[in-house]
Each structure stands twice: as C-alpha cells, then as structure tokens.
Structure 1
C-alpha cells in the first residue's frame, strides 16, 4: 500500500487486446499472481519521501483475492501510521499485448495511480512516473517485503515506505 499524497501520470491503461469475438485465455502469467492470494499483516516505517510523517511506524492489514474468472487479483488494505489511516484498493492484471503486468491503485485520500511492471524469481517490480514498488516473496511465499520509493524527477528516488508482511491466512 502506498502512503504517498502525490499523483502521477501513469502509463497508458493496459488492457488485453484480442481480436473481436475472441476471449482472452488464462495462462501461466495469470497463475503467477497466486503468490499474493491471502490475508497479510505488515509492519514497517515511512521514509523521507513521506515528509513530516517520515520515520512513523506503519501497521497494515490486507487481503488479496481472485476476481471471478481468475484474470485479475483484487487487494483491499488499510494502513495506520501515527494518527492517520489510508485505505486502498488495488487491482493486478496481465496485458498479453505488451507482455507486462499492471497495477491500478485507488486510495481513501482520493488518488488513483497506474503502474506497470513484471515478475522475476518471486520479485515483483511496478513503476509509474513518480513512484515505484518492489515486492519480494520470501520463506516459501509466507513473507512479503514491500519497498515503495518516490521521485520528483524520475532519476533520484527516495524511500516512501518499507514494510515486512506475513501471511496470516
């Protein structure tokens, strides 16, 4: 989950583009999203990019589940840091036409963000023009390290949030 208050212009909306009348097909790319499925509890800290809230402890809970059909994963979560709270909804998917994964994030502060990325050896990378996240599965997919960064110029990146998650169900 992303505690930032900055809105970025994300990549073009990714959709699966098939010939008219031809339905998308589930593939191994969709199945890779299975690693996220479940309930997670995370703890961590906000980084310098969080401004005056930097160094605050973060506690987060979230649930990842398949949407009907098995093409997309829905994540709903809540973060608490200091006296503040951020709720977010994320949808993950795969775009066959580009061979890339995508992530759409909507939060309770009114922001919507788009990210594009991929997975390799259990490490997921998603990036937008001003934010990026790396999510690394560990311990047979029972732990998840989440590292958010933010950049004003797309060159210099500052820590936004570091979380360590544990699967609770």
Structure 2
C-alpha cells in the first residue's frame, strides 16, 4: 500500500511511464571470458611491493564460473603466503558502452577494488587506482601467467606478485 495515499480517498495519481533501459545482448566479447572458466592451481612469489612479505612463496587456488545468463564470470580464490591468506571474490564482465572489460574485487582484508581493461591475443590487462595485472594464457589455455604490480603514484610500478597457474579442471 502506498503510504502517501489515504485510505478511502481514491486511487493515487497516475505516475509517468518509466523509460526502460535496453537489455544488453550477449556478444563475442562475453564469450572471450570463457577462457577463465575452470579450476586453477597457482604457485609464485611475492614482490617488493608486498613489503616485509616480499620473496615469500605463494600458492593459490581459484575457481571461475559463469553467472546465470552468461554475461558475468564469478571468481573465488584463496592465496596463501607465509602464515597469511588472501581470500577474494571477483566478478568479471564487459561494458559494451565503453568497449572495456572490468573486474570488481572484494577480499577478506577489507578491500573493494575496481579494475578496467582489455584483451588482445589472449593477454588480458586490467588496471585500477593503485594496482594493475597482466594475465596471459598459454599451452591451449591450460596455463595462466599472472603478473600483479602496485603503484603509489601511478608512475612507478613495483612487483606485487608473479604467479604461474595450471588448469586442473
């Protein structure tokens, strides 16, 4: 019931018709995200941007799956280094209005980050306010190289971590 409408005073005034947003349509850009789908195990090392944890070995497990509708990919991952672990959830998608891919990331350390990027010849580049990542697929998309960098000023970039992943399913 509309709280602004008094009982017994007749129907509420007609509201103007809302303009409906055009629904997106699936395209080849969405299908390119298929290369991520599956289970991945990775190993690597933290770089100088990780501060006191630099040079620690890293292991990671990641799961990528399509969300219903096929427009977005859900990523859930755990990265272990020393006594610490980084758990993250990401959603990957494509914005047809800008022609760019994007990632929305949330992690157990309390960070929520947005990245925007592109794919060319199997190499994905995403950048955010203080971090950027390059992900390249090899060996018929069964191996994934991940190179994260961090910057305080957007000019000088330092290695955050390097990972080499293998598709396990």
The bucket for the TM-score relative to the shorter chain is 0.7 to 0.9
**Aligned match of 2:149:** 149
Inter-partner Cα distance in structure 1 for 2:35 and 2:58: 23
Other structure's SS at 2:52 match:
helix
Q: TM-score, normalised by structure 2?
A: 0.88
**Aligned match of 1:12:** none
**Aligned match of 2:111:** 111
Matched, 1:98 2:98: yes
Two-structure CA RMSD over aligned residues (Å): 0.8
Give unpaired runs (5+ residues) of structure 1. Answer: 1-18
Structure 1: which 4+ aligned runs deviate by more than 6 Å? none
Task: Within 5 Å, give how 1:12-23 maps onto structure 2.
Answer: 20-23=20-23
Count of aligned residue pairs for this structure pair: 151
Matched, 1:162 2:159: no
Per-residue CA deviation, residues 81-110 of structure 1 (Å, 9 max, x unaligned), is: 000011000100000110000001000011
CA shift, 1:129, in A, is 1.8
**Aligned match of 1:131:** 131
**Aligned match of 1:63:** 63
CA shift, 1:42, in A, is 0.2
**Aligned match of 1:14:** none
Per-residue CA deviation, residues 103-148 of structure 1 (Å, 9 max, x unaligned), is: 0100001110000000000000000121000000000000000000
CA shift, 1:21, in A, is 4.4
Other structure's SS at 2:110 match:
coil
**Aligned match of 1:32:** 32
Inter-partner Cα distance in structure 1 for 2:48 and 2:160: 6
Other structure's SS at 1:105 match:
strand
Inter-partner Cα distance in structure 2 for 1:158 and 1:56: 16
Q: Which has the larger radius of gyration?
A: 2
Inter-partner Cα distance in structure 2 for 1:56 and 1:154: 25
CA shift, 1:156, in A, is 0.6
CA shift, 1:22, in A, is 2.2
Inter-partner Cα distance in structure 2 for 1:20 and 1:102: 24
